[in-house]
Amino acid sequence: MKVIPLLMKGSIRVFRQDFDLDREILVYYISPGETCMMSLVASFGDMKSQVNAVTETDSEMYMIPIERVHEWQIKYESWNGFIIQTFMNRYTELLDTMNDLSFQSVEVRLNHYLSQYKKRTNASTLHITHQGLVNELGTARVVISRILKKMEKEGQVELKRGLIKILSSNLAKVSHLHKVL
């Protein structure tokens, strides 16, 4: 890692990719005012990053050289606090993801994913294929297709090729139930 992104506008999707299996899985999203924990880990360990990242929407960011990141940690207490808070937030998020993968149904995870997308982007239309959702949620295509068809019958979503339109505000209620469980 030569630079660390500090996102000012937009959204960045961070994911792991297994080239042998031609699969990937979502690790987390970076929102404005945040940086990438995995980039920090790679820079601190002077190693190659274990994740990939792509912008989800039009984005603006500062690319901070790792030398400044390390220098500022010593020089500025507030920057050091930001780095520590980044680690704490992502650690909690990764534990939640691990919990979801282990204990939540794919239906609950998909509802949560769609409601979080709507909240994060303030958009009701998601340009994604079924395979894209497979990659995001770490499941099988047939499972995603079955759940989306059920959601469409219930009037929660409208499906088009490469596009999901979120019709129902009930997704947030399912997502809230997910967090209570």
User: 127: helix, coil or strand?
Assistant: coil
* Residue 104 confidence (pLDDT): 87
Ranges of each domain in the chain: 3-102, 105-180
35 vs 4: CA distance, rounded Å: 7
Whether domain 105-180 has CATH 1.10.760.10: the reply is no
pLDDT values of the chain reduced to their tens digit, one per residue, 181 residues: 899 999 999 999 999 887 777 778 888 999 999 999 999 999 998 889 889 999 988 999 999 999 999 999 999 999 999 999 999 999 998 888 888 777 889 999 999 889 888 888 888 999 999 988 988 888 889 999 999 999 999 999 999 999 999 997 666 454 444 444 3
Instruction: Look up residue 19 and give its DSSP letter.
Output: T
180 vs 59: CA distance, rounded Å: 33
* Residue 178 confidence (pLDDT): 43
User: What is the sign, positive or negative, of the torsion defined by CA atoms of 74, 53, 57, 171?
Assistant: negative
* Residue 170 confidence (pLDDT): 62
* Residue 172 confidence (pLDDT): 44
Which burial class, exposed, middle or buried, applies to 134 when counting CB atoms under 10 A from its CB (0-12, 13-18, 19+)? buried
DSSP lists the bridge partners of residue 26 as 15
126 vs 141: CA distance, rounded Å: 17
Please report, for residues 55, 127, 148, the alpha-carbon distance to residue 141 in angstroms, rounded to integers and kept in the order given.
24, 16, 11
Find the helix packing angle between 37-44 and 66-75, rounded to 10°. Answer: 90
CATH class of 3-102: mainly beta
User: 73: helix, coil or strand?
Assistant: helix
